[in-house]
Structure 1
Amino acid sequence: MARQWSEGHSTSILCVGVSVGPETLIASGSEGGEVTVWSQEGTIVGRITLSGEEDSTSVVFSPSAPNQLFVAHGDAVSVLDPRSLKGPVEEYQAAGEEEINALALNETGSALAVADDSGAVRVLEVPGGKVCRTLRRHTNICSSVAFRPHRPNNLVSAGLDMQVMLWGLQKTRPLWTLNLQDVAEEEGDQQQRPGQLFNPPLAHCISVSSCGNILGCAAEDGRVHLMRIGSGSKLEQHGAVKAHSQGASQAHFVNFLSHSYWLVTGGNDSQVALWDLSKHPVVAPEGKIQKTAPQRRKGKSKAKRKEQSQEKTKTDAQKDEAEGGDEAGAAGSAEEVTEDKSDKSGPKLSISHGDKVNWLCPAVLKGEPSVIVADQSSSLTVYPLS
């Protein structure tokens, strides 16, 4: 049965995070700078409204220090003690170049990635908040960022420029880039049915499986785009699951079920779904019929991108060509799998939530595998994943 957690916020909840460790705490952030910490029973542990009252857009618990909760609001990050919400323990002012959309911590809690409206990803040292890397290649808002488990120097980013990028922190340029619009065009997605609106695959949320090799990206075309990373961090294969009838806003791998390839998704169609991807061709390619993506000359995709983007993209393109363009080669050689239609059953669990999904947070609450849903309202809803 679904449970409502209410009275923690007065505004629409935008983000949710869960702590790791023996005592499970949940944090939620909402419009106007509100932050609430909950017990796993749904009782309120504490509440605070951050100075400036800018929207709390991302909340992340430190995996190594349970007394640290990182909250993005405006272009700043506040570090809070979730058990004592009297005020920030530490403040990272101007952590982002513009308004921050997403935060991610590496497994040791020593590096904080910040994705913002400028398209930049900054990597900050923790503690202290010193900027040690600025990664610029997105030509539009960077909406989501995640570190790869077991690989502290690798992170992935996704943005409204419809691009997914894998970065090695030793360099300031991506190891590879996958343009989701190029993928859609190759699949002939734009031959839509009469009366069907075509939504471009703006990338909203990126998640990495606990093994570190499978990426899932929720996009505005209703799909979750899947990518497999092979040896040498190359993009080995990509495909998609048609997950939602409208834009997919959230996709998160679940690390507490029977294997690493369970994925929970949410969308603008007000649906929440749980998927078993263990047999998807991108995850388990052996014995599956695969279609190799045509080898595309980089110049062609550049020409397409130039038509869509702003003037600064042209200079980026010229810079790419000067630098040799090996990142496009890494993505261009990946095998493409046509959309998985082999699993007739679709999602293993489908929930009609009744409102657009702002955020999903998988969590084990009182021993029960669950998903916490934030929507346009000021309440959270908890569903069992069973």
Structure 2
Amino acid sequence: MSETGAAAGASSTERKPRRLRGHKKGAVTCCVASSARPGVVVSSGEDGCLCWFDLRTKDVLLTIEATNKAISSVCFKAGNEDFVYVSAGNEILSFDVRMGSQSKPLETYNYNREEINQIAVSSKGFLAAADDSGDVKIVNTMQKCLYKRLREAHTSICSSVQFIPWRPWTAITGGLDSKLAVWDFSKGRTLFSIDYGSPEMQNRSSSASAGQCLNPAFIHSVAVSEEGGLYKVCAVARGDGAVDVVDLEYELAPAKSKGPSRAGGSAMSSKGTDLGNGSSNQSQQKRILLDYTMGGHTAAVSCVAFSAFGEKGKFLVSGGNDASVKLWDWSKGFSSETNSNSELVLDIDVKKKVNWLCTAPTDSDNLIVCDTSKVVKVYNFP
């Protein structure tokens, strides 16, 4: 779709959302949808509370006063969603939802020196915590001890961390130093990295999207496609208003060989990846850029998530400081079909800056948005 076609095909809409009330004050900071219980969503807030919602009902199901600090991140325990982990300050706490509103922390981890920005849990029971120092701590929750410290890839705040589900010993991190790093966390070393702040990357971005806003390409959020999805990729929410989609298997392929290590911050793939504007480039495209020329964000992108509805991983959702949420049919950009381009299919004006979002399919497709208010908003699409 052309620039004008994208803008015309996905004009900004003011959909009226459902409002889920449960938090007492401050902003809602994070939300996560249950995969074991369709329609169940957990949110966290600056009020230190966890709220459980069922999208089939009106009222909050459960509220836990988890901490007297703002909660920065929340995630379910892999394989048992009766348990959740939350980060607050430099601590990680775990709770058992079956204990109700009186639930007290079951476990507490204090391995991070500075404030934690995001936590993630792997299928093998490892818990990752990215903090303001630039370090990532990997905790073995089975043995309840520190497993690894990932360091020296980031020179500034590490804002985001995710595990790669189809590679059980691999994690990916992003930081406010504009660097994306993929790790073999069993060995504590990087497999490859991308520096979005390097002159080469900046030149390629500017040539692909002339006129893009001038904010640095800080990485605010990283999302990884689910195992079994269309493509094995990650999406990167950038401070310059763009979303980058990276073919991880393509980038990781050199790490399998006995050639020179790619750790240490290579700016681009040695295979000469074309940083494009969402076009397939005759199936040679291994990295696509979703920016304002396609109807994208005009301010920093704060979060990204692959949708749980539709064909698995087909859609990518992004939220930004421009108070908008975008739904992208991004996978067309990786298609081998001629003239098949990534496409913006929905643009929602949500009125406030977006902190986090997730998707939860029930009888309809639901998009859950956390913004700078204390109310969780749900947009549904029949």
TM-score normalized with structure 1 length: 0.78
Report the Cα distance in structure 1 between the residues aligned to 2:62 and 2:368, rounded to whole angstroms: 18
- 2:3 corresponds to which residue? none
Q: 1:357 aligns with which of 354, 358, 363?
A: 354
Of stretches 126-135 and 218-227 in structure 1, the one that deviates more from structure 2 is 126-135
Task: State the Cα distance separating 1:190 from its structure 2 match.
Answer: 8.6
Of stretches 147-156 and 371-380 in structure 1, the one that deviates more from structure 2 is 147-156
Report the Cα distance in structure 2 between the residues aligned to 1:171 and 1:97, rounded to whole angstroms: 21
- 1:187 corresponds to which residue? 204
**AA in 1 matched with 2:176:** L
Report the Cα distance in structure 2 between the residues aligned to 1:29 and 1:131, rounded to whole angstroms: 25
| SS of residue matched to 1:28 | strand
What pairs with 1:161-310 in structure 2 (closer than 5 Å)? 161-182=177-198, 184-187=201-204, 189=206, 198-210=214-226, 211=229, 213-230=232-249, 233-234=252-253, 237-242=286-291, 243-280=296-333, 283-284=334-335, 286=336
Report the Cα distance in structure 2 between the residues aligned to 1:363 and 1:271, rounded to whole angstroms: 19
- How many percent of aligned residue pairs carry the same amino acid? 27
User: 1:55 and 1:142, CA in 2 relative to 1: closer, same or farther beyond 3 A?
Assistant: same
- Judge conservation of contact 2:22–2:51 (CA < 8 Å) in 1: no
- Judge conservation of contact 2:322–2:353 (CA < 8 Å) in 1: yes
2:63 is aligned with 1:47: yes
What pairs with 1:1-386 in structure 2 (closer than 5 Å)? 1-22=16-37, 24-40=39-55, 41-51=57-67, 53-83=68-98, 84-108=100-124, 110-136=125-151, 137-182=153-198, 184-187=201-204, 189=206, 198-210=214-226, 211=229, 213-230=232-249, 233-234=252-253, 237-242=286-291, 243-280=296-333, 283-284=334-335, 286=336, 342-343=341-342, 346-364=343-361, 366-385=362-381
Report the Cα distance in structure 2 between the residues aligned to 1:85 and 1:131, rounded to whole angstroms: 29
| SS of residue matched to 1:85 | helix
1:199-232 residue CA offsets vs partner (Å, 9 max, x unmatched)? 0100000001114721100011000011102268
**AA in 1 matched with 2:203:** E
- Judge conservation of contact 2:177–2:197 (CA < 8 Å) in 1: no
Count of aligned pairs: 326
Report the Cα distance in structure 2 between the residues aligned to 1:230 and 1:71, rounded to whole angstroms: 30
- Judge conservation of contact 2:38–2:360 (CA < 8 Å) in 1: no
User: 1:255 and 1:90, CA in 2 relative to 1: closer, same or farther beyond 3 A?
Assistant: same
Q: Which has the higher relative contact order, 1 or 2, with Cα contacts under 8 A spaced 6 or more apart?
A: 2
Report the Cα distance in structure 1 between the residues aligned to 2:138 and 2:49, rounded to whole angstroms: 25
Let me know the Cα RMSD of the aligned residues. 2.5
| SS of residue matched to 2:216 | coil
